[in-house]
Amino acid sequence: MSTGYLWIKSFHIIGVVCWFAALFYLPRLFIYHTGTPDQAGQDRFKVMEAKLYRVIMRPSMIISLVFGIWMLILGWSAFASSGWLWLKLAGVAVLLGYHHYCARIVRRLAADQNPHSEKFYRVFNEVPALLLILIVILVVVKPF
């Protein structure tokens, strides 16, 4: 692997780590937000959710995507026939759907329209962990 490729991969991993920090914490905020009865407390969560989404989650998703797609283009001839990569990309598609659904919840909460229960958010919060396990095993072990 060339040094240039390894630089791209480093920034890809940096983006992914930051993206997951937000993917783990934003749904936690939804849990606490839902359990907060007073308006002042809820308004504080709205600011935290909006900032976490805009300052960390969306930019790091874009960084992961840009550097990931860059590697895909550079190594396409080898990647096209790799089963693990296609399954990884399917996992990434689910993760992007999850990301956008989180953005939608942020907007609904900002308008005081909470679409879900605290119990829902507790289960919802586990989804990124499962995708992380799947994707990391796929890219490191490359089982097929």
Contact footprint for ligand HEM (CB under 6 A): 9, 12-13, 16, 64-65, 68-69, 71-72, 75, 92, 95, 132, 135-136, 139-140
Which residue's CB is nearer to ligand HEM, number 47 or number 90? 90
Nearest Cα to Cα of residue 83 among 143, 131, 9, 137: 143
Say which DSSP state 81 is in. T
Residue 139: CB minimum distance to ligand HEM, A: 4
Query: Minimal CB distance to ligand HEM: which residue?
Result: 68
Which residue's CB is nearer to ligand HEM, number 91 or number 109? 91
Token digits of residue 97: 């759907």
SS3 36: coil
* Segment (H or E) for 130: helix 127-141
Which residue's CB is nearer to ligand HEM, number 111 or number 140? 140
